Structure formats: C-alpha cells, structure tokens
Amino acid sequence: MAHLITWKVVWIACLATAVAAADDAALYREKIEPVMKAHCAGCHTGPQAQGGLSVASLADLMKGGKRGPALMPGKSSHSLLMQFVRGERNPRMPIGGKPLPETMVTALATSIDSMAPVLQSQAGGKDHASWVFQPPVDPKVPEPRNAAWVRNPIDAFILAKLEAKGFAPAPAASKRALLRRVYFDLVGLPPTEAETQAFLADASADAYEKLVDKLLNDPRYGERWGRHWLDLVRFAESDGFAIDGERPTAWRYRDYVIRAFTHDKPYDEFVLEQLAGDEMQRRPGGRENEGLIALGFLRMGPWERDTNFDAQLRLDWLNEMAGTTSQAFLGLTVGCARCHDHKYDPIPQKDFYRLQAFFAATRIEERPVAHLEVEGRLSMRNRLRQLEDDLEAANAAVKSLDKTLKAKLTAAGKKEDELTKFLNDKGSAVFTAEERAKHKEAAERATKIGLEMARFQPIAYSVNEVAPPAVMDVEPTYVLGGGERLVRGEKVEPGFLKAITGNSEPAKIEFPGRYRSGRRKALAEWIVSPANPLTARVMANRIWQHHFGEGIVRTPSDFGLNGDRPSHPELLDWLAQRFIEKKWSLKAMHRLMLTSNAYRQSTNHPESQKISEADPENRLLSRMNWIRLESEALRDSMLMISGGLNRQAGGPGMFFGVKDEIAQGFQMFKWYASDEEAQRRRSVYAFQRRSLPMPLMEVFDVANMSESCARRSVTTVSPQALTLLNGEFTAVESRRLAGRVIELAGAEPARQVAKAFSLVLQREPTASELDKALALWKGRQPAEALTRLATVLFNLNEFLYLE
C-alpha cells in the first residue's frame, strides 16, 4: 500500500503548483475524462473496479491500481494507461472491445505529455532531502529478537529489518566459500593451496578474523582496492580524442592511489591531497611531492590536445572537473546544472558555476617532482640513465645506417635528402628489402626507447595555480546560459552547494598568497568536514558496495533525489559515523563489515523462493549477493593459478599484446607490446590507453575510461564466452597450468585432475567430476588432456562467481 500514500503526497505537491495543476485539470476534463467515461468507466469505477484501478478522476488515475499508477503527467509512454490502450501490454484495453481509434490514442498521449510532469522522486522526496542533505546523526542500534546472530551492530540493523518482515537470515557460508569470497574481495586473487589448507584446518574461534587482518595487510590489497578508486576517477594514461597521446607519467598517480590504500591513508587526507595536494602543509617525508602527484586526479579526464579552440577546451575541463569532483566525493550529479537548474535535486545552475569557480585559478601543468623513495628513486634514476645511453646508441646506429644508405643513394644518382622517400618506396630498386627492414628496425628501436624514457622522467602529471603572488585576482566565473561559453550571465564567487549549507554565500577562503588562491583547499576542507552530510556516507556506501555486491544506496554516485533510496538509511548513517570516528580509516571499515554475520551468510537461503517474492532484489540482505569476478580479478587469477603471474608492482605500465591489424590501425600512436613476462603483470598495471582497452578486459565490462564509473555493469554476453574459451590468453595460461599440475602432481591422471581442481576451485573433484574429467585422457597426451581440462575449469561458473 506504500505507493497509495506516496501518490497522495504527489497529488498534494501537484496542487501546490496551482497554475499548472489548474491547466492539467482542464486538460483532463476536456481530453481525458470523456474517453475514460465512454470506454473505461464500465469496469474501472466503484468499489469493484477491475485491477483496483478507478478512472473516475485524475487523482484516481495517478494513484492507479494494482499494477501501479495508470497516468504519469508529462510521461505518456510511461503511463500504464497508454501502454494498455496501445496494446503494448496484454490484454489490450478496452478489453473485449475494439481498440481505440488511432486519433484518440494520439490525443490522449498528447494530453498526458502536455501535463506538467510530477517528479516521481517527490514521492517521499522531501523525506529523502531531509535525510541526504542533513549530517547523519548516530542512530540507535536496534535490538533484534535473535540477539545471538548479532556479531556487531551491522547485524543488528540488518536483522531488525529482516525480522520486521518475518524473515530469518541465511545460514553461514561454508568455510571454503567464505575463504574464496574474502580473498577475492580484499586482494582480487584466490588463496594458494597452502593458505586454503591452513584456513580450513584452523579450528580456532577467531580463524576468520585473523585471516581478514592478514589480507588487509597484504600489499595486494592496495592493488585490488586502488583499482576501485581508479574507476571512479576515470583514470587513463592517454588523452583520448584524435591523437590519444600518451601521458607517460600518469602511472605515478595510479601508484599513489595503490599506496594510499595499502597504507590506509585516512580518507580525509586522501581527498585533500587529490584536490589540493599543492596546498597541503609540508610535512617530513616528501609529502608535498606526493601531493603534487595526487593532483593527477584533476587531470584524469579526456583532453583534446589538437583542438583549435583553447577557451572552449578550458571550459570543458573546468566543467569536467566540477562534475567529477561532485560525483566522486559527494555522490551528486551536478552535471545537469551546467545548462539549467537541476531538474531533480535542489541544485540551481548557479551552484554548478559556484562549484566550478573553486577551480578557476587552476591550470594544468606537468610539474617536476623527483621520484619518491617508495617509487624506487634510485632504480628510476638508473633506469633513466640506462635509457639515455641506449637512446644515444640507437640514434648513432640510425645515423651510421643513414650514412651508408645515403652513400648508396648518391651512387645511384639520387639526392641525399630523398632517403626517406626511397626507403618507403617498395617499388624502387635502390635499396634491398633487407636494407629497408634494417633501417626500419633501427629507427623503431630509437622511437621505442624515446617513448620509454618519457615514462621514467621525474615529472608529475599535475596542476598549478595561476593566482598572482599578492592579490586575489583570478579569472572571474560566470553562470553560462545553456552552458554556452559566450552566453555569460551573473558573475559568481566560489561557494558551496546551497542544498547543504542552506545559503548562497561565497565561501570564506583564506588567501594564502605565494602564487596560490586557496580555493581548492577550501573546497577540499569543506568536503571532508565531518559536518558534510555526504562525504562519509558516500564513501562508506562505496566500501559496502564492493564487499556486498550492491550498495545500501544502489546508485553510489547519485545520492540525490532521483537516485536510489537507501535500503538501510540508519545503518548507513551509523557506518558514516564510525568512519569519521575511526579517523577515516578504510581498513577499520573493512574489518567492521567483513567480520559481520551479514557478510558471512551463504548466497543461498532455505526460504529464498518465498523471500524473493517479497524482496526480489535482496535489498534486505537475507542472503549474501552473488558476485562475479571483475575482469581484472578474472585475468589475474588465471595468471596466478597457472603460475604465470609476474608480481612486479608499481612503475610504468605494461603494454599487452594486440593483434597486428589492430595495432597498425592506429595512426597517431605506436603500440609496442612489452616483453612476454612483463605482460603477465597484474591488470592494474596494464597501460590504460583510452582508445585501446585490453580486449579481455573490455568484453568483461571493464570501466569506461571516459567518465567516472561507480558501478561496473555485469553483463553476460557471448563474446565473453568466445574470448574466454577460444582466446590466446586462455590457451597460453591453460597450457602453463597443465605444466604446473604435472610438476606438482606427477604422472597419475586422477591426481592431476585433483590438483587442477584444487588450484582453480580450492576443492577436490567429486567422484563423478573426476570420472568425467578423466575421459579427456583418452587418446590424448597428459599435458594435452590437462590443457583441455584447465580451459574448462577457467570457464566454469563456479570459478567466475563467488558463492
């Protein structure tokens, strides 16, 4: 019945806008009511109204019946009424009668579309706004009946809601399922055989808690969780657009993020550094330098390098930054307000530009920043020197080759400066194919070294300020009509969102001088202020989302009125409070969530059929959600299981191999694949070129590098099957795994099968599975049979989904 009440609220809201409502009432009386009376009222009025739907009034239509509202003002296509009379739904209405004439249907649709739209989100919107834009208060932890199930307050919140519906939580997951779940969750890789055995054998009461602590201290944790953040900040190592030029030192930002997670950098500090790392207090240990690298956040968006329109480019950049900052840290989509007042959230257009003004003094800059100790300062320097020497040698080789070839050219009566022309002219007999190939190879070697050198330069992909030293004289910011650069409206000062502060006063910004405006710092400090109602909730929700598969708010970067309503608002508030209380420590939050009983539930529930009718989305968390391995976890796991994983951490990314025809199709950049061993590094270290995502990653729903990605889609499409079953990567790693199995298990086929199962799935095969697998050994060499089995295991649902 909830929708009945909320729709009354809508109706009242609609009356409040008296003029529109009056027009709509007239529209209804003239255009809709007569049709309803003539064709629908027979069945759809009075206490016996079919389907609970009465068509007696506009309010009744909007209230709707069992199927929901029949009429949505302004949205004919969403109105059930239209869908039924059009026959888009069965049965076509009027039931048993002739379809309404086309002209009548069109007239109905036009009338409905002409009505003032009533925001669906206003259904309860006021309540949501009073929650989302107000700082969280510490809620009372509920006291559910089954107190024994409550390990920590998270469970109390979850269980209370379940009990209110008369449901019980699912039983605990098996130890093996929990082991796999927490390994993939925290480090993105499966446990080894030894780790599996140790955990399964550990009967102590806190075996699981010890495991969680161990994994939180595992350096691979940063690689796994850093990637979540990189999704959010649209991390890429190229500009996008036509040239898609390389950003050779963007990897330093990626490593900064990984380090931040590994070392549990307090989230407030993490935010401050990414927005205002250049303005942070200098502390011992090269922190300012790290701050300059952290500013890469502001640079990660696409950038059209060859544009012939700098002013527009800058505006695009400012817009992109304001939009991404808001989405990533505040969970608000302010982008809409670039052109007009936000249609759903209380964000006036002016606020978009007040937010954008915080960046008005910022300009992009590649800044010299010596490599940090943690980046391997010494080895970086040595590598750079080595490359410089290599380049010199390579250039010399090209030069001497040129000299020889030029001599040949002149001997043939051609001009020296026609060397390139004749080298490219395959039809000419001046040079042999061998000479041409040799020259090409030498020239390419030099190019390649040049590219490589740029990646080791002590430069940060960063920003700087354009503020003059003494006076606060920054390029003014205007509200732009329709977002158009030339349509200037009111001039605005930097200011925080009115929806949160309740006023449109300019932000009080302490002007620090020294070529700094202090603007970004002011914004960052406001974002991480414990009084900010969004920051802690949004991040707590993101952490929850990655652990549980879905957020408490399922639109993690849209907490606004049109976003999802939290399933457990009190729990989210409680988590947000703990996050601040625990000094913004992510690891403390992980520990809290992972040690709850809610997390340890099975993915199956004995009463799942009954529960799923009431809660098809599992919003109440009566069981654990199924989680499919993301593309990175999938690829990395295959490498680890096969024994091929290269654990080299940090530094410039690796260039995966691409098919020649694809590599050669790119005109503006050269793609040189790294050597085979380097290609076997973890996926987070794959070079992120916007126009060339790794094919295996792309097909498994990797984040789009063009905009902030808060939630990857999980699609199930056939190209995934083709890639994972037929692709070269699977073929190579399956063969490698076969070799490893033979080495570990010896020659006995049954032991080989058991070993393969154990490595891939962390369990023994059943007798029937073993039998079926052994059929592969008929007529095949053991290595060949094992390779086939490995391919099958890598493609199993059981491998890709976490129970």
Site for another protein in 231-290 (CB under 8 A): 240-242, 244
For another protein, the binding residue among 137, 147, 722, 783 (CB under 8 A) is 722
* DSSP tally for the chain: helices H, then strands E: 35, 6
For another protein, the binding residue among 124, 219, 266, 481 (CB under 8 A) is 124
* String marking each residue 464-503 x if it binds another protein according to CB under 8 A: ----------------------x-----------------
Helices within 456-533 (DSSP H only): 498-501, 519-528
Give the shortest CB-309-to-another protein separation in angstroms. 7
Query: Per CB under 8 A, does 296 bind another protein?
Result: no
Site for another protein in 510-529 (CB under 8 A): none
Give the shortest CB-667-to-another protein separation in angstroms. 5
How many residues form the binding site for another protein (CB under 8 A)? 113
Site for another protein in 133-192 (CB under 8 A): none
Rounded to an integer, what is the distance from CA 142 to the centroid of its chain? Answer: 33
In the block, residue with structure tokens 């008369």: 166
Q: Which segment (382-390, 436-444, 534-542, 711-719) binds another protein by CB under 8 A?
A: 711-719
Query: Per CB under 8 A, does 103 bind another protein?
Result: no
Give the shortest CB-209-to-another protein separation in angstroms. 27
Q: 684 is written with which tokens?
A: 């987070």
SS3 562: coil
* Residue 198: C-alpha distances to residues 215, 321, 751 (Å): 14, 48, 21
Give the shortest CB-145-to-another protein separation in angstroms. 25
CB 348 within 8 A of CB 341: yes
Query: Per CB under 8 A, does 425 bind another protein?
Result: no
Alpha-carbon distance of 428 to 436, in angstroms, equals 11
Alpha-carbon distance of 387 to 383, in angstroms, equals 6
For another protein, the binding residue among 531, 673, 721, 783 (CB under 8 A) is 721
Query: Per CB under 8 A, does 731 bind another protein?
Result: yes
Looking at beta carbons only, is 237 or 558 nearer to another protein? 558
Looking at beta carbons only, is 344 or 478 nearer to another protein? 344
Q: Which segment (15-23, 189-197, 389-397, 654-662) binds another protein by CB under 8 A?
A: 654-662
Looking at beta carbons only, is 106 or 404 nearer to another protein? 106
Give the shortest CB-60-to-another protein separation in angstroms. 14
Q: Which segment (82-90, 156-164, 526-534, 745-753) binds another protein by CB under 8 A?
A: 82-90
Looking at beta carbons only, is 585 or 691 nearer to another protein? 691
Exposure on the CB side of residue 788, measured as CA atoms within 13 A = 13
For another protein, the binding residue among 15, 470, 717, 783 (CB under 8 A) is 717
For another protein, the binding residue among 614, 665, 748, 751 (CB under 8 A) is 665
Q: Which segment (59-67, 260-268, 284-292, 372-380) binds another protein by CB under 8 A?
A: 59-67
Type of residue at 366 = E
Q: What is the largest CA-CA distance in the chain?
A: 105
Query: Per CB under 8 A, does 3 bind another protein?
Result: yes
Alpha-carbon distance of 3 to 651, in angstroms, equals 54
- Nearest-5° Cα angle at 575, 572 to 578: 155
Looking at beta carbons only, is 585 or 604 nearer to another protein? 604
Q: Which segment (28-36, 212-220, 395-403, 560-568) binds another protein by CB under 8 A?
A: 560-568
Give the shortest CB-323-to-another protein separation in angstroms. 9
Alpha-carbon distance of 714 to 473, in angstroms, equals 48
Type of residue at 257 = V
Site for another protein in 572-611 (CB under 8 A): 603-605, 608
Query: Per CB under 8 A, does 117 bind another protein?
Result: no
Looking at beta carbons only, is 304 or 366 nearer to another protein? 304
* DSSP H or E stretch at residue 782: helix 782-794
- Tell me which DSSP letter residue 204 carries: S
For another protein, the binding residue among 14, 60, 64, 131 (CB under 8 A) is 64
List b or e across 399-430, with b for residues whose CB sees 16 or more CB atoms inside 10 angstroms: eebbeebbebbeeeebeeeebeebbeeeeeeb
Query: Per CB under 8 A, does 397 bind another protein?
Result: no
Alpha-carbon distance of 215 to 225, in angstroms, equals 12
For another protein, the binding residue among 190, 458, 495, 563 (CB under 8 A) is 563
CB 169 within 8 A of CB 179: no
SS3 801: strand
Give the shortest CB-680-to-another protein separation in angstroms. 17
For another protein, the binding residue among 37, 89, 403, 610 (CB under 8 A) is 89
Query: Per CB under 8 A, does 453 bind another protein?
Result: no
* DSSP H or E stretch at residue 463: strand 459-465
Looking at beta carbons only, is 449 or 790 nearer to another protein? 790
Site for another protein in 301-360 (CB under 8 A): 302, 304, 306-309, 316, 327, 333, 335-336, 342-345
Looking at beta carbons only, is 141 or 774 nearer to another protein? 774
Sequential DSSP letters for 11-45: HHHHHHSHHHHHHHHHHIIIIIHHHHHHHTTTTSS
* DSSP H or E stretch at residue 723: helix 718-726
Looking at beta carbons only, is 345 or 365 nearer to another protein? 345
Site for another protein in 615-634 (CB under 8 A): 616-617, 623, 626, 628
Alpha-carbon distance of 159 to 153, in angstroms, equals 10
Sequential DSSP letters for 56-118: SSHHHHHH-BTTB-S--TT-TTT-HHHHHHTTSSSSPSSTTSPPPPHHHHHHHHHHHHHSPPP
* String marking each residue 684-703 x if it binds another protein according to CB under 8 A: ------xxxx-x--xx-x--
Type of residue at 16 = A
Q: Which segment (179-187, 264-272, 523-531, 712-720) binds another protein by CB under 8 A?
A: 712-720
* Residue 444: C-alpha distances to residues 3, 484, 538, 685 (Å): 67, 45, 48, 24
- Where on the phi/psi map is residue 503: left (φ > 0), alpha (ψ -120 to 50), or beta? beta
Give the shortest CB-509-to-another protein separation in angstroms. 28
